[in-house]
Structure 1
């Protein structure tokens, strides 16, 4: 069992590769460098996972996201393929054991972030490995023109010194020509075989729908779609609101965002993938490794930050090759708000200086000092202390991380849970005896539903702010209630960990990266502007616009997007016929034959008009094969 196809059948249960996967895999097996652009859904990971199982030695995978690394390692482990991820949660002793396993334990994959690669200790350990080849995932991160630039990616060529005989494969799903050129140049990949698959999707129709009532339009669309759906929103609060609204209208939906616990994420994913809840409402945290074939529609309720993000998210529809749709619901106010929101939440150099100063003050770090230990970090407590907007402060912290000033480990997913173990009447008696607890318990009951029936995730900090007391006092009270048997309280420290990577020098620290900050601000704003221009452009086919952005020449209109179909707008005769049809159907349901007799029009005109009304969801077909008006 050593041919690529045999490995594919054994571990992945696929009988064939998708083009051009097999060609890429054979190139890697021949130990030739290659740069790969494969759109979302074309199985990039197989392009390095399969050859790694054919070749002797360890495959090193550089990936930018801890969650993505964790997802892939878990997936490989479930297939009984040995893989190790180096995260900040590992102690030095655990890292030594991991490298011993890589050398002597038959492990095939070493996953790590580009930041982790900068450690001299880890570099020395990598030097000792027998490496088959090195895979750089999400390679667009190495380009300042990429949609998720990471300066640490620029230091990846150190691997050429550590493993001079190793070959490289760089992979990305979306890249403009400039980004693609940067990948080759910055990774210093010589004589690379280049594989590019067109981003054109003939079975995917792109449409922009202008609406003042998102929810009403959403219901119309979902009434028409009977298969799986993804609805993207821009924030966690909106995912919950939209999901609740859909459930109130009897749709089977669930939601997903980065703030959920691991169990909650797994449950949401499992019910969606099994079609128990075929509608997924999510932020862009939902997407890694998603390969569900029957996603029929991807809907954006907000403006994507870039066309790179948009084409990846839209590309999750129609992977089975059947007709599918990508819909953006928007209006002019929404487009204006996207621009305003970007400027309000994207930090300036001055604001980043303020955040950096406050972080040092928060942990009492002296000028000229660099602490060696990492600290517990709660973004909520930090922002409350300095009266900061959480989203803007978080974005500033991520800029500091991007520029290697700090390191924020957010891989803390455990949350505290609470459940009342006594009934309502017993609780009432308890409060009569201990009235000092009344305000606290009332707050819990108002804040969390179902807390008598099941363990509920709680946020001690939010409770402390509402009561005007410290978080520590809330924890003490909950532990006391747990001890007396009133509640079952499972406390978890859900803080992130923050490390300072440079000596504190305040203004100088930020001034030396200010040009990078300003340049990245301009690039991100240009990408948002390009997305807004794409939405507003009602003259050029959506497919042509998208492919042009990614430097693909295509002059043939798709004929299906909202721009193309608007050019085939109904004639005055058709408009009149549409009006007459709706009048008749307002009185009673009718078949096409009955409509034809009543209207005295030719069959072709009638069928065309009925098609228009069906596409606009103005009418529907009953179980008796008659047409009815949608109210």
Structure 2
């Protein structure tokens, strides 16, 4: 970190381990308050910007305080990486993931472990309850603390189990950390912590980030055009796994070294793609929200969003992956008006009516052969995917534990050729597998074993390059997403476990109040996207009650000078007819729609004339 970013005069008992373990001589200014408070035994709530180094804010004081630090986090996939980073620094850390509980908790008790990372669901696990009484817990950390609040964008009910830690470890100091929380969420977090919380709210402003919103033209075509012009590495955020696969193919066809990244990829494949992107072999990842949390990638020069995120909290987190090295970076949201209707429908489908919820509950009872008052112990697969939205709500209400199966290999399934494909330009490997399937399964579903199919295709030279079952599965998912075929894996992705005794189906209900909250948050995104005056950065900051800054001076609204626009259009038309689409594409993405509106105004006023290909002066002088 640069000297301009650091504080001065850190006490020696903190500065020494900071230098020994992390190699820093000092902290950034916004880190000092939380670190000092935690080290002195004060409870802390810290709202820090993305890329603000919040992990160091609790790791350093926990090391100084000694004993065991419990880190309760929803980011299960990153626990082992975070522990590995601590071990590289000479700090003893364990992550309770999968079925490693016995070994990990033995190490905690007998191995002088300094950090134990675990999910909130583990707090009610019998192993935790049986062994936590032997631990010297001095620090308790709630990571991604907005998840503890029912008003948060990513509420996770299992975080309510945190309250049990008050009684178990009454002398422990608490730290809650988040990068995205409204005042309402911050108040809710404080209410669930011990008394006497010291709050630290750092300014959100990242002065090196330039925000724009593109609302002109065909959203996808414009994004592809702009992505092909970018220098450096970037991210394109999408909303679904299918979108991730589809966009990776489009980006490749546009000439970019691209790959998809989403939660449905095997762990090793995700790690491989992340490493290829981090090393510069890939320029861009088409990713869902599964990418980014805890990943230290300072070199991201641009982050595009293909359509609106569900809330501004998600947008700030995802856009905040850009420019963590402090160098200028671009954050552009590409939207069309219909995108918000699509997103609203997607949100509403997450909250089925009571009749659908009770039908899903009855299906689960039948599938597990659960009688009234019984609580079956064994998990069972979700074989009826139409019940998933209702089962998610029932899981949030505490009836079930719904989780994705780690052993869902999807090696077998059925392929159905759909006949009239959507016309897409994609890679030769996808084209060759599509041609082979069209010949082999032109009308009837074909049952396949991917391992055997990959070997057969490799022997027959039907593919442009050798394939594995994992690659073949990803190819089939991509072709399914693009509408060429229907791929149905046999193995089920999700399984259910009863967490309370079965009750009469007609008495089952769930809390659907979060539907209005999520719709309100979507309206906030819409207001941000459609704003026509002010400053993008200030708009975001006002949404989180951080309005202390002057305009950023670099977003599309701050740099949008109508007088200069009129002058530029006049000068270009004075040189002759112009092709409007090419002319608009040469302008910054956030300026194109108002420039198109200026053209339309001049056309209606008779200042310019147009045909399908060009516009030119009509001979009448435009004013201003």
**Which TM bucket (shorter chain)?**
0.7 to 0.9
Q: TM-score, normalised by structure 1?
A: 0.77
> Which residue of structure 2 lines up, in the alignment, with residue 134 of structure 1?
140
Answer yes or no: is the 8 Å Cα contact 1:417–1:455 preserved in 2. Answer: no
> Which residue of structure 2 lines up, in the alignment, with residue 453 of structure 1?
466
Answer yes or no: is the 8 Å Cα contact 2:348–2:515 preserved in 1. Answer: no
Answer yes or no: is the 8 Å Cα contact 2:151–2:517 preserved in 1. Answer: yes
Structure 1 residue runs without a partner (length 5+): 419-427, 429-436, 473-492, 587-609, 619-631
Give, in angstroms, the shift of residue 414 of structure 1. 6.3
Counterparts in 2 of 1:99 and 1:298: CA distance versus 1, 3 Å: same
Say whether residues 1:328 and 2:338 are aligned partners.
no
One of 94, 106, 118 as aligned partner of 1:84: 94
Give, in angstroms, the shift of residue 553 of structure 1. 2.3
Q: Report SS of the residue matched to 1:551.
A: coil
Give, in angstroms, the shift of residue 75 of structure 1. 3.4
Alignment of 1:230-629 (within 5 A): 230-375=235-380, 377=381, 379=382, 381-383=383-385, 388=386, 393-410=387-404, 412=406, 415=409, 444=453, 450=463, 453-457=466-470, 495-507=493-505, 510-511=508-509, 514=510, 517-554=511-548, 556-570=550-564, 572-580=566-574, 613=586, 615=588
> Which residue of structure 2 lines up, in the alignment, with residue 592 of structure 1?
none
Give, in angstroms, the shift of residue 559 of structure 1. 3.0
Say whether residues 1:40 and 2:50 are aligned partners.
yes
Give, in angstroms, the shift of residue 214 of structure 1. 2.9
Deviations 1:358-401 (A, max 9, x none): 122122222221112333x2x4x332xxxx2xxxx433322222
Deviations 1:226-284 (A, max 9, x none): 11111000111111111112212221112200000011101110011111112111001
One of 62, 77, 94 as aligned partner of 1:52: 62
2: distance between equivalents of 1:49 and 1:3?
Answer: 14
Give, in angstroms, the shift of residue 102 of structure 1. 1.1
1: distance between equivalents of 2:188 and 2:136?
Answer: 29
Answer yes or no: is the 8 Å Cα contact 1:306–1:527 preserved in 2. Answer: yes
Q: Which moved more, 1:558-567 or 1:450-459?
A: 450-459
1: distance between equivalents of 2:37 and 2:65?
Answer: 12
Give, in angstroms, the shift of residue 199 of structure 1. 0.9
Deviations 1:558-581 (A, max 9, x none): 232223333535354432113346
2: distance between equivalents of 1:582 and 1:503?
Answer: 78
Answer yes or no: is the 8 Å Cα contact 2:236–2:305 preserved in 1. Answer: yes
Give, in angstroms, the shift of residue 454 of structure 1. 3.5
Alignment of 1:78-117 (within 5 A): 78-87=88-97, 89-90=99-100, 94-95=101-102, 97-117=103-123
Q: Report SS of the residue matched to 2:372.
A: coil
Counterparts in 2 of 1:265 and 1:7: CA distance versus 1, 3 Å: farther
Answer yes or no: is the 8 Å Cα contact 2:408–2:493 preserved in 1. Answer: no
Give, in angstroms, the shift of residue 78 of structure 1. 4.8
Answer yes or no: is the 8 Å Cα contact 1:413–1:494 preserved in 2. Answer: no
Q: Report SS of the residue matched to 2:297.
A: coil
2: distance between equivalents of 1:280 and 1:470?
Answer: 25
Counterparts in 2 of 1:468 and 1:99: CA distance versus 1, 3 Å: closer
Q: Report SS of the residue matched to 2:559.
A: helix
Counterparts in 2 of 1:451 and 1:9: CA distance versus 1, 3 Å: farther
Give, in angstroms, the shift of residue 197 of structure 1. 0.4
Q: Report SS of the residue matched to 1:148.
A: coil
2: distance between equivalents of 1:146 and 1:157?
Answer: 17
| Root mean square deviation, CA, Å | 3.7
Answer yes or no: is the 8 Å Cα contact 1:69–1:111 preserved in 2. Answer: yes
Counterparts in 2 of 1:447 and 1:324: CA distance versus 1, 3 Å: farther
1: distance between equivalents of 2:449 and 2:264?
Answer: 25
Structure 2 residue runs without a partner (length 5+): 1-11, 413-435, 437-444, 592-624
1: distance between equivalents of 2:487 and 2:321?
Answer: 46
Q: Report SS of the residue matched to 1:368.
A: coil
Answer yes or no: is the 8 Å Cα contact 1:208–1:562 preserved in 2. Answer: yes
Answer yes or no: is the 8 Å Cα contact 2:213–2:589 preserved in 1. Answer: no
Counterparts in 2 of 1:5 and 1:280: CA distance versus 1, 3 Å: farther
Answer yes or no: is the 8 Å Cα contact 1:299–1:327 preserved in 2. Answer: yes
Q: TM-score, normalised by structure 2?
A: 0.77
Answer yes or no: is the 8 Å Cα contact 1:88–1:409 preserved in 2. Answer: no
Counterparts in 2 of 1:584 and 1:494: CA distance versus 1, 3 Å: closer
2: distance between equivalents of 1:444 and 1:582?
Answer: 60
Give, in angstroms, the shift of residue 441 of structure 1. 8.1
Counterparts in 2 of 1:585 and 1:396: CA distance versus 1, 3 Å: closer
2: distance between equivalents of 1:225 and 1:141?
Answer: 35
Give, in angstroms, the shift of residue 169 of structure 1. 0.5
Q: How many residues align?
A: 537
> Which residue of structure 1 lines up, in the alignment, with residue 424 of structure 2?
none
Q: Which moved more, 1:261-270 or 1:193-202?
A: 193-202
1: distance between equivalents of 2:33 and 2:136?
Answer: 25
Q: Report SS of the residue matched to 1:169.
A: strand
2: distance between equivalents of 1:508 and 1:67?
Answer: 37
> Which residue of structure 2 lines up, in the alignment, with residue 119 of structure 1?
125
